[in-house]
Chains A and B, each alone.
Chain A
C-alpha cells in the first residue's frame, strides 16, 4: 500500500492524477470500519488530514474536512444539534462533513440539514470545480456524483439560513446510534418551512407537501400540526431492514418532524 499525505489541495490533485481511484481518507470513521472488516483494501491512499483548504469554515462555506467536534459549536441550532448526536466524542473528534457526504448513507446525520437549507456541494479536481445542489450530488443509497479524480471541497449554505432550525433523530439508545429516522426542520420569519427526512428513503428526502401546507399557517393550530405530522409520514419512503421496520420509521419521522417544528415555533 502507498499513502501520500499532502499539505494542500494542489498536492491532492497531483496525487489524484497519478491514481484517480485512490482512497481519500478523512477521519476514517467509515472507511476504517470497512478496512478492518476486510471489505476494503486500498492500494493507494490519499490522506486529507493535513489539507488546510478542507478545514476552512467561513460562515456560509463549510470545508469537507471540518469535524463534528468543531460543528458542535455552530450558532445554527440544527447544525450544532446534529453534530452533537454523531457517534461519540471519539467519532466526533475526527469524523467530517466531507466523509458524511462521501459515504452518502441515507442515515447520514449531516445530510438532512444540508437538504433542509438547500445547500450546494462543491467538487474540485485538477481541472476545475463543479458546484451542484445537494439532490444532484446525492444520487442514491451510498451513491453520489463524485467522479474519479475529484474530491469534495465542501458545502455552501445559502446567504441567509432561516432563523429557526432544529434537528431530531431516533435510534435504540441515546448515544452512539445510527438514525432509524431523522429530520431537520427550518422556519424563517415569514413562516416558510422546510422539512428534510433521513433514513426513511434511498437518500435524504424533502417533505414538500408538508412544507407547503405548514408554510401557509402563521400560528399553526393543533389540528394543523396533526395534519403536518400526517403529511410528513405519508411522504416518507422507508424500508424494513435490520435496524427498524417501515411502519415504525414512517410513524417516527412524523413525530420527530412535529417536535422539531414545535421547537422552531417556540
Chain B
C-alpha cells in the first residue's frame, strides 16, 4: 500500500507491504538519516520525531498507521541551513560527543522549549528521560537547554 507522509512540510510517498516502523521508512525509503536507529524497543529515544505534534519514538509507530500525518524529524528542526538555537547550544556546552543520540535530544529538547520556554531542572530531566546518551553524562545537554532559558529571561 502507499503511505503518504507530510515530512517537514513536504508530501512524501512510500510503498509499504509489511508492518514496518515509521523509523525504517524514514531512513530506508526516504533516506532521511538524521533519525537514528538503535534499540527499536522504545528505550533509547534516538529515533524521536514529532508525529502529529506529539513527541514519539518512530520505531514504535507502524508506518502504515502514520498515513497522511505530519512528521517533524531532526532535519525539519534546523531551518534554511541555520542551526536551531538548541543545536548551537549543544555544541557550545559540550552536549555532543559521539553524536549518535544528538538528533533525538534535539527533537525532544526543542519540543520541550516550544511547550515550556522556562523549564525547571526537574522538568528538563523529565522531558529528556526517554533519551539515552552513553557519552556525555547528560550535564552538557542539560546546560545547553538551561543556557537558552537564560537568554530568554534577559
Contact = CB atoms under 8 A, between A and B. Distances in A.
Contact of A36 (B16, B21, B56, B126): B21
A213 B19 CA distance: 51
A127 interface: no
Contact of B65 (A3, A41, A89, A175): A3
Contacts of A224: none
Contact of A3 (B1, B41, B56, B127): B1
Interface stretch (B26-34, B42-50, B92-100): B42-50
Interface stretch (A25-33, A114-122, A236-244): A25-33
B32 to A, nearest CB: 18
B56 A93 contact: yes
Contacts of B65: 3, 5, 25, 28, 45, 47, 49
B86 interface: no
Nearest to A27: B60
Interface size range on B against A: 20 to 34
Given A3-B1, A36-B21, A94-B54, A28 B45 contact: no
B149 to A, nearest CB: 18
Given A32-B59, A36-B40, A45-B19, A1 B64 contact: yes
Interface size range on A against B: 20 to 34
A146 interface: no
B18 interface: yes
A88 interface: yes
Contacts of B20: 35
A193 B43 CA distance: 36
A29 B130 contact: no
Nearest to B37: A36
B143 interface: no
Given A29-B60, A41-B18, 16 more contacts: A1-B16, A1-B18, A5-B65, A32-B62, A33-B40, A33-B41, A35-B62, A45-B19, A45-B62, A47-B62, A49-B65, A69-B54, A87-B130, A88-B129, A91-B42, A93-B54
20 contacts: A1-B19, A3-B62, A3-B65, A25-B62, A28-B65, A32-B60, A33-B40, A33-B41, A33-B60, A36-B41, A36-B59, A37-B40, A41-B19, A49-B65, A88-B129, A88-B130, A89-B127, A90-B42, A91-B130, A93-B55
Interface of B: 1, 16-21, 40-43, 45, 48, 54-57, 59-62, 64-65, 67, 108, 126-127, 129-131
